[in-house]
Amino acid sequence: MHKNLKNISFGDLVISENNNYILVNKPPFIASLDDRADSKNLLSLAKEVSEEYQICHRLDKETSGVVVFAKNADAYRNFAMQLENREVKKIYHAVTHGLHKFEDFEADEPLLTTSTKSRVDFRAGKPSFTLIGSLEHFKKHTLVKCFPVTGRMHQIRAHLAHHEAPIVSDPAYGGEDAFLSELKRNYNYKKWEEENPMINRVALHSSQVAFKDLDGKVIEGEAEYPKDFSVLIKLLRKFN
């Protein structure tokens, strides 16, 4: 477990809540569900507050951002039905390699999923659909927003990689680390020390979620960038 997460509590992560749902901002490096390498995960933190709480969906361990919890069985079923019917709106932000002008770009390549990875496969893949838009351009990178209409494993990562925009620090999908020395002129670091990347995880953040409560009212939530993602953006802007 990441050293900063040892003393974290569920209450520290709450963005908003009502009688049926709790929205939390998941830090990077903590699993959503049980992880064999780690006893502490998002669900176990929630269960410390109430055994009734159920996690409605999951994020990859390295991915930060908004996650929805249900406080009761009716709320859980309500969210699950919306997820199945593709009625839950989720917006992700990612920092990609290269300069890309995505304007309501539709990535609709079918994805074939194995136990650890997804890849574009036009013969055996399942229908997959991601809307992509560019938010900000830097010297060698682009901040993009992604709306996954379907919910395949690693869908955003696979689709972006297929369109030659792999996410920073995502080696599984061709995304290399990003270093300050690539942006800053006359950057000096001690020759005997290895330079650290600007972010040491997949640069992907679940920014927003919107869905309907049991009474039909829309619940919306937005998760702030965690420190590492925020620092990455600041450095890219500074040396743009």
Domains of the chain by start residue, with CATH: 3-238 (3.30.2350.10)
pLDDT of residue 102: 98
pLDDT of residue 194: 84
pLDDT of residue 15: 98
pLDDT of residue 131: 98
Active-site residue set: 60
Question: How do the pLDDT tens digits run along the chain, 240 residues long?
Answer: 455 667 899 999 999 999 999 999 999 999 999 766 556 899 999 999 999 999 999 999 999 999 999 999 999 999 999 999 999 999 999 999 999 999 999 999 999 999 899 999 999 999 999 999 999 999 999 999 999 999 999 999 999 999 999 999 999 999 999 999 999 887 776 666 788 999 999 999 999 999 999 999 999 999 999 999 999 999 999 998
pLDDT of residue 193: 76
Answer for the pair 75, 83: CB distance below 8 angstroms, yes or no. no
Q: What dihedral do alpha carbons 6, 10, 13, 15 form, nearest 10°?
A: 180
Nearest Cα neighbor of 130 from 113, 153, 114, 100 is 153
pLDDT tens across 27-52, in order? 999 999 976 655 689 999 999 999 99
